[in-house]
Amino acid sequence: MSLITVGTMAFDAIETPFGKVDKIVGGSATYVAYAASNFIKPVQQISIVGNDFPEVEMTELTSRGVEMDGVEVVADKKSFFWSGRYHLDMNTRDTLVTDLNVLADFNPIVPENYQGADFLMLGNLMPKLQLSVINQLTTRPKLIVMDTMNFWMDIALDDLKEVLKKVDVLLVNDSEARQLSGEFSLVKAARKIMSMGPKFLIIKKGEHGALLFNENHVFFAPALPLEEVFDPTGAGDTFAGGFIGHLAKTQDISFENMKTAIIVGSAMASFCVEKFGPERLKEITQKDISDRIQQFVRLVNFDIDLV
């Protein structure tokens, strides 16, 4: 029983209304791995880094059950770099810089010992690389979940549509759902996106929670109202890691269990935003996670008399 995760391992520079960091570890696969490894081991990572990526970060991830056989280290190049600035609402941000660096020549190779994994998390990455990983797997995983972003919709839409045909669950935020579908109504957008391939669609709405669509069903999970939000970077990837981590742990990919999984994802994302980068994810314990999930239960649980 294992989970393969694919995505970036990166450096980020982040500016929020509350502070600024010039160089902090980030990347979609980094956040997914920190979140998912609380629920399932091994997490089998596929990514690429340059000569600048900290050894201590690799060691930390390894100690959490993240396997690095699929992480290529390029000796003479730099790691992927992304920089973003958040607006006052902290729900929207502008990308300032995307330096592909090592990612420009990345050709992911699925290690032999990763074959046979039941779950595949395609973290945010060039769509054609996501597709290449799917195509290398000798047995199709039980569930393929895909994350992406507007950047790839702008520059690689045709490739992205090819991947969509092969995945079970797509995760996007509300503006990306609108961009991909050309529809303003999220219900119409969901119907259109599901007709492109994925049977399940999750639309994340930042501090306003997340929607899960499947056929004619829809489920809503709130985000926890937090007193302090420092840095939303990686919240989407952390959500994805919690979501697929829970499904992989329980080996149940029903719509009912996905409802629980999006609560787990929301709980993990609520930790991520409390500090810059993945720092907070490194501190939390299993007890912190179950206490936070209980907070979600209390947040939405109420008795009502039928009128």
Interface with ligand AMP by CB under 6 A: which residues?
8, 10, 12, 26-28, 82, 98, 124-125, 149, 151, 233-237
**Which is closer to ligand AMP, CB of 175 or CB of 250?**
175
- Residue 200, both tokens: 């399940």
State the residue number with the nearest CB to ligand AMP: 26
List strands edge to edge, sheet with 80-86.
19-26, 10-16, 80-86, 93-99
**Which is closer to ligand AMP, CB of 141 or CB of 241?**
241
Angle at 102 between CA 100 and CA 103, to 5 degrees: 55
- In angstroms, the Cα distances linking 161 to 166, 169, 188, 231, 237 are 9, 13, 18, 30, 20
- In angstroms, the Cα distances linking 296 to 119, 179, 280 are 26, 30, 19
**Which is closer to ligand AMP, CB of 96 or CB of 187?**
96
Percent composition of the chain: helix, strand, coil (DSSP 3-state, to 5): 40, 25, 35
**Which is closer to ligand AMP, CB of 98 or CB of 260?**
98
Smallest gap from Cβ 175 to ligand AMP, in A, equals: 12
Smallest gap from Cβ 67 to ligand AMP, in A, equals: 20
Strand 217-221 and strand 210-214: pairing?
antiparallel
Smallest gap from Cβ 64 to ligand AMP, in A, equals: 18
Smallest gap from Cβ 300 to ligand AMP, in A, equals: 23
Smallest gap from Cβ 58 to ligand AMP, in A, equals: 16
Neighbour-count burial of 216, counting CB atoms closer than 10 A to its CB (0-12 exposed, 13-18 middle, 19+ buried): exposed
**Which is closer to ligand AMP, CB of 95 or CB of 254?**
95
**Which is closer to ligand AMP, CB of 188 or CB of 275?**
275
